[in-house]
Amino acid sequence: MSSHRRGRSVRHRSARSSRGARPAVLDVEGQGQDEADLLAEEIAEGKMAIRDLAKPMETKREMLRKLQGKGLKGFGWRVSMQRRWKKSKENMSDAFAKLEVWRSPMHSIEGKFGTGILSYFQFMRWLLFLNLVIFLLMFLFILLPALIFTRQIGTVTSSNSTNSSAVDCESRYVPFNVSLYEPTRDHISDYIVDVLQGKGIMEDTHLFYGFYENTIQRIQETEGFTFTYNLPLAYLLTSLSYFLISLILMVRNSAQGLQESLVSSEDKFYTYCNKVFAGWDFCINDGRAADLKHGQIRYELKTDLEEQRILQKQAKRTGGEKCRLYSVRFVVNIFVLAILGAGGFLIYYASTFALEWNAQYGTAANTDAFLKLLVTYTPSLTITGLNMIVPIIFDKLVGFEDYSPEFEIQMTLLRTVFLRLASVATLLGTLYTQIACSTYTNGDAECRVCDVEIRCWETYVGQEMYKLVIMDFLVGTAVTLFVEFPRKFIVSRFKDKLEDVVGYQEFQIPKNVLDIVYSQTLCWIGTFFAPMLPAICVIKTIIFFYLKKLSLMHNCIPSTKPFRASKSRTFFMVILLVSFLLCIIPVGIGIVQIYPSRACGPFRSLNTMFEIVTQTIAGWPTVVRDIFFFLGSAGFLVPAVLILCLLLYYFRALSVAHKKMVAVLKDQLILEGKDKHFLLQRVYELQGTTDPTRAKQNKAQADRKAAATKQAPNGYNNESPPPRVPSSAWDNANSHPNSVNDGW
């Protein structure tokens, strides 16, 4: 009997120690929960083994203390290291956050105008860093070697038959006449015109393609090895590298934005609860930061409510309304296509007219300088004018199509990006017809391109891109300073008279996004023909950021059509990716198809720019050359493409399976919640009790009724209830402005 009682007491103490040991292990750190569970299982198994040992109780207790101490010591060390590592990462992230570019302006914009407009400025900051990376590549591998090595006129690298013509054309190619540009007061206007056109003193600088040589510089010779720097090869590989880096960064950013949009769409059922009960940041201890956070949450709630209103409106459409709406959308799209076609024709006509006029009157001595500048800028002015006028028409047309605010922005962006890309494509196509020739003619015209007065077509294309960038900068600055600010002043000064006619301006995200996408398109194309153009784009982006931020804060009001930032950010990247694909086509054609100019550039002695790659590979060892050629053959590419397609199909199937599993697990969680609720109800019924929550609610309701009965007016006793108020009276009371329900 006593032994049985002793065994029960031992088991009781063991169980009590077990119950006490587990929290000691689990309460160390939440992030080590899995390790804590495994350690607790190991300790429980050790206890079972110790319990079965035929040893005295003191020995068992000592073994149990050692077991628990050993587990806690190892686990505590791991948790301590994890805590330190997490703390160090948080400190590093806080330090980098303080060094973040434009951090304070971003918070101000987010608090006042929401995350949708913030995404535009984040997009601009991302493009700033992208252009900075491109500039560093071009500076380190093209400009810096050109500055270090001495320029040698007439030096060629190839030994083919085009060398003599390249040297001869280079001697004839005179970008500008130094005698005409003495640094006197009389020629300041000439300098200004040259800066605006990219010609004259600007043409023979490091800014444009024609300045760079086609030389291979010997750097050092050591123990039979000669280290050389092939500038033409470096020029081509660096240009391909900035395209590749841009593609990688865009895909990476698009994937992050897509992940955020998927998370936000998955969370739509609990969005109000999450924003109201879990949206506040309790680390905020500044009044201004708290106001910004209030504004952000309020704007997000407005966005959600606006989306729900639009969905309800779309669900109530009748068949006749849908038919009428689809007819309107069809007519609008036909009109949009007609506008795009007319814009392309205008750009083609302006480009052809400018080239023919310059060939006929540009070299005449009596030609007015301003007229020459105006005609030279005719294609740029045409494109800029279309980019300013046509988006306004598109913005008015999309209002008749009755889309949601988010899709309305996407549709306007899509149409406007087609306009801008079609404008650039038309200009490049016109230039292609002027510079693409299968052969060069003999005699003095051998140095020309297609019998046109263009002796360095790469520099000519770079000048066109340069003029478009300068014109875009001047027009954008002028519109911000001389249109948006005066409009705000006029509307504020004559509020009663002009507010309904002009109205306060909102920040037009489609127009502003297309402005920077268009600017980035010019930068991508122009960098190959003007290597220092990214530096101009970096300066332009910085100036535009502060101009747009100043105009937003002083001139604009929050948008009446809220929209989400996550999906907008993803769509911005998609638009940028489309423009990137357009940029690859003309640059690729210039590399592999068009004859390089004989008078200028690193590839003047070659038949195509890509020929420098084949010449370099031909000088490699035989084994390396054969391996490289095999990697580019169909025998390698076809199996590689098939393997990539199979991998793509596999990961696609895996993604679909994971989505189905997530849906199944969600259904299981819902069913488990219902089962738990049902079982609790059954337990309460069997015990003769009720649900504690419902019991509390019933008790509170009974207490309120009892209090109301005690405080009944003098015409009624406690046992007779007050007369029933008609439902219309309650409706009138609830609709009263001072009622309690109105406050909620």
536-545 residue pLDDT tens: 999 999 999 9
- Take residue 71 and report the two structure tokens written for it: 């587990």
Which one is predicted more confidently, 271 or 551? Answer: 551
Q: Sign of torsion, CA 174 175 177 183?
A: negative
C-alpha closest to that of 427 among 473, 469, 464, 387: 464
C-alpha closest to that of 121 among 111, 110, 132: 110
* Beta bridge mates, 225: 222
Q: Of all residues in the chain, what percent carry a pLDDT higher than 90?
A: 12
626-685 residue pLDDT tens: 888 888 788 888 899 999 999 999 998 998 898 889 888 888 888 888 888 888 888 877
Would you place residue 502 in the very low, low, confident or very high pLDDT band (cuts 50, 70, 90)? low
Q: Sign of torsion, CA 581 583 586 589?
A: negative
- What does the alpha-carbon distance between residue 214 and residue 231 come to, in Å, rounded to a whole number? 6
Contact 408, 307 (CB under 8 A): no
Q: Sign of torsion, CA 656 657 662 664?
A: positive
Neighbours of 377 (CB within 10 A): 19
Would you place residue 197 in the very low, low, confident or very high pLDDT band (cuts 50, 70, 90)? confident
- Take residue 635 and report the two structure tokens written for it: 């025998």
Q: Which residues contact 466 (CB under 8 A, 6 or more apart)?
A: 198, 207, 208, 526, 530, 533, 536
Polymer length of the chain:
744
Domain spans of the chain, in order of start = 2-98, 103-619, 620-699
Alpha helix positions (H), 99-212 = 103-138, 144-148, 163-172, 188-197
Contact 236, 610 (CB under 8 A): yes
70-122 residue pLDDT tens: 555 555 566 667 777 878 877 787 777 777 788 888 888 877 777 778 888 98
566-590 residue pLDDT tens: 556 677 788 888 889 889 998 998 8
| Structure confidence at residue 2 (pLDDT) | 44
Would you place residue 312 in the very low, low, confident or very high pLDDT band (cuts 50, 70, 90)? confident
Would you place residue 159 in the very low, low, confident or very high pLDDT band (cuts 50, 70, 90)? very low
C-alpha closest to that of 351 among 421, 418, 433: 433
Average pLDDT, the chain: 75
CA distances from 146 to 142, 231, 235, 457 (A): 6, 8, 11, 21
590-620 residue pLDDT tens: 898 888 888 788 888 888 898 898 888 888 8
Q: Which residues contact 709 (CB under 8 A, 6 or more apart)?
A: 718, 721
Judge whether residue 27 has pLDDT over 60: no
Contact 436, 594 (CB under 8 A): yes
346-365 residue pLDDT tens: 888 887 787 777 767 666 65
262-310 residue pLDDT tens: 555 555 556 677 777 777 777 666 676 677 777 777 877 877 787 778 7
In degrees, rounded to 5, the angle at the alpha carbon of residue 532 between the alpha carbons of residues 468 and 587 is 65
| Structure confidence at residue 518 (pLDDT) | 87
C-alpha closest to that of 523 among 462, 478, 456, 480: 462
* Beta bridge mates, 227: 220
Alpha helix positions (H), 139-225 = 144-148, 163-172, 188-197
| Structure confidence at residue 157 (pLDDT) | 47
Ramachandran angles phi, psi of 440, nearest 5°: -105, 140
Q: Is the pTM of this model over 0.75?
A: no
Which one is predicted more confidently, 655 or 27? Answer: 655
